Amino acid sequence: MSRRLLNIFGAIFLLTSCTQYQYVHLSSDLPKTSDSEHYYLTDSLVYVDFDFNGNGLPVKIYFLNESEEAVYFDLTETLFFENQSLVENAYRLTGGDLDERIFIPPGKGAAFQFRPFQSRYLALAKAQSNYVEISSESRKESALGREMQEIGRTFEVLITYRTGTEGENKVSLSAEFREDFIYFTTREPEFFPGGKSPYCYYISEGSEGGQLAASLLLEVASASLYYLMLESLD
């Protein structure tokens, strides 16, 4: 193999290995599932859990109808707030690709992925961070990190569903989250403790710029039906 080709491979490896990742942990007063650590809320009819893991703060919502009657997940009345200010409702995030109300039969569930919030790489927070130890069940790492405190944002997801033959009865459930800790490292999500946890999102330093901004704007204005589960509650 030529020296020139080796230099190219070495440069590619260097660029890949030096990618800086920013991880943000979200916290909430909601309970967590014991196995998967998803924050969740529930009432006498439905169960809802949340997953924020991924690049750029996706909001994945799993909505399960645990009752014996059909319910409607109301996208127009499901709202996203940042720092107590309304960002958007779920229906507008779909761009009209879904119905305003999603019919959920008894014992069935639906899951959605939305991107109502923007995120950015916080270089100043990195400069103000110190080395801390972060660990999970199988990993332990040292990384630059700090509590977010005054720079951390708060988020609220107001889940709304309807009951009754025509969906005339409205029920709303509120879930609040806050940015709690921030970490900086070259470790990819698969190899960083908690990097794949449902309460953690990440972005990379190199992902900022005009091209990403355009991509983020498109993603912020969109949502996808993550999956539709027609399963029993066996």
Domain boundaries, the chain: 24-229
C-alpha dihedral, 226 to 227 to 232 to 234, nearest 10°: -60
Q: Which residues contact 213 (CB under 8 A, 6 or more apart)?
A: none
* Residue in this structure with the two tokens 């924050």, named with its chain if needed: 39
At residue 53 the predicted structure's pLDDT band, cuts being 50, 70 and 90, is very high
Which letter does DSSP use for residue 55 in this model?
B
- 157, 117 contact by CB (below 8 A): no
pTM comes to 0.82
At residue 162 the predicted structure's pLDDT band, cuts being 50, 70 and 90, is very high
Q: How many CA atoms lie within 13 A of 82 on its CB side?
A: 14
Whole-number pLDDT of residue 169: 96
* Residue in this structure with the two tokens 């110190």, named with its chain if needed: 130
- Residue 156's DSSP bridge partners are 81, 176
Whole-number pLDDT of residue 205: 78
Q: CA-based diameter of the chain, in Å?
A: 73
DSSP letters of 110-126? EEEEE--------HHHH
Q: Which residues contact 101 (CB under 8 A, 6 or more apart)?
A: 72, 73, 74, 75, 76, 162, 167
Rounded distance between C-alpha atoms, residue 90 and residue 98, angstroms? 10
- 40-44, 71-75, 164-168, range with the lowest pLDDT: 164-168
At residue 135 the predicted structure's pLDDT band, cuts being 50, 70 and 90, is confident
The mean of the pLDDT values for the chain is 84
Closest CA to 90 of 160, 142, 148, 25: 160
Whole-number pLDDT of residue 219: 39
pLDDT for residue 210 is more than 50 = no
Rounded distance between C-alpha atoms, residue 23 and residue 201, angstroms? 6
Residue 140 vs residue 74, higher pLDDT? 74
